[in-house]
Amino acid sequence: MRRAQEAAAGSEYSVVLQDVRRVYGRGGNAVTALNGISMSFARGTFTAVMGPSGSGKSTFLHCAAGLDRPTSGSVSIDGQPLAGLSERRLTELRRDRIGFVFQSFNLLPALTVWQNVCLPQELDGRRPNRAAVRAVLDRVGLGDRHKRRPGELSGGQQQRVAIARALVARPAVIFADEPTGALDTQTAADVLELLREPVRTQGQTVVMVTHDPVAASYADQVVFLADGVLAGSLIAPTAEEVADRMTHLGARSTLRAVAR
């Protein structure tokens, strides 16, 4: 499936979710991770999805990115609904339109940095543009380490390689699952800049799941999840505003500020 550089005509939303529900297990053991979420992510925006543990953030991201099939509801990427696609077509669509950065274990240990970054394009049967790859690696600051294997890199460096891989294919949307979870503050700041920059300069859409209010403050808008449903949003918040809202989410809404 050859990639069309232009997005499907007319849609200004990269990702659209409609009444998505995801239930695990059956009968008495059933766990409802997502309980009817409807959301749209506009093109060229940087959104942070936040919520306490168990709110369904990772599940939400997996469903939105086509890595998991929702129990009911629909997901569309660039106007293309994911529902009726076979496993193979879905995979090709993902390869083409979506970049994903996992929280850990992002890279194939058998391949070098360069080979890891080029992998999605190779899978598609395309020859990667060497100049573009080099440019991306330089941008993430690993241009001189492209022959190393993941085992020789630190956690932060691995994360940066994963972002490079997501960026180089110029996908319609990049999903990132807790990308700064295991990083020190300086590296975290670098990584977040790397994610924000293409949004400004190239109209990239980025959706990031995080539990860190500081990371969320880099985003254009922050969406809150609690107990599987949407629980509000903030536009261009500061870290303090985010932290404050987090304290009052869901069942916590009865908490009062505690005087120190």
Q: Where along the sequence are the contacts to another protein (CB under 8 A)?
A: 62, 67-68, 87-88, 91-92, 94-96, 100, 102, 104-111, 115, 119-120, 122-124, 149, 155, 165
Q: Which is nearer to another protein, 7 or 182 (CB)?
A: 182
Tell me how far, at minimum, the Cβ of 176 lies from another protein, in Å: 13
- Sign of CA pseudo-dihedral 236, 240, 243, 244: negative
Q: Which helix (H) or strand (E) holds 31?
A: strand 31-42
Say how many residues make up the chain: 260
* DSSP 8-state code for residue 2: P
Tell me how far, at minimum, the Cβ of 180 lies from another protein, in Å: 17
Q: Which is nearer to another protein, 156 or 213 (CB)?
A: 156
Let me know the angle formed at the C-alpha of 91 by 100 and 167, rounded to the nearest 5 degrees.
30
Tell me how far, at minimum, the Cβ of 106 lies from another protein, in Å: 7
Tell me how far, at minimum, the Cβ of 103 lies from another protein, in Å: 9
Q: Which is nearer to another protein, 149 or 211 (CB)?
A: 149
Rounded to an integer, what distance in angstroms lies between the CA atom of residue 244 and that of residue 252? 11
Tell me how far, at minimum, the Cβ of 235 lies from another protein, in Å: 31
Angle between helices 155-168 and 185-202 (to 10 degrees): 10
Rounded to an integer, what distance in angstroms lies between the CA atom of residue 218 and that of residue 47? 9
Q: Which is nearer to another protein, 68 or 241 (CB)?
A: 68
Q: Which is nearer to another protein, 92 or 220 (CB)?
A: 92
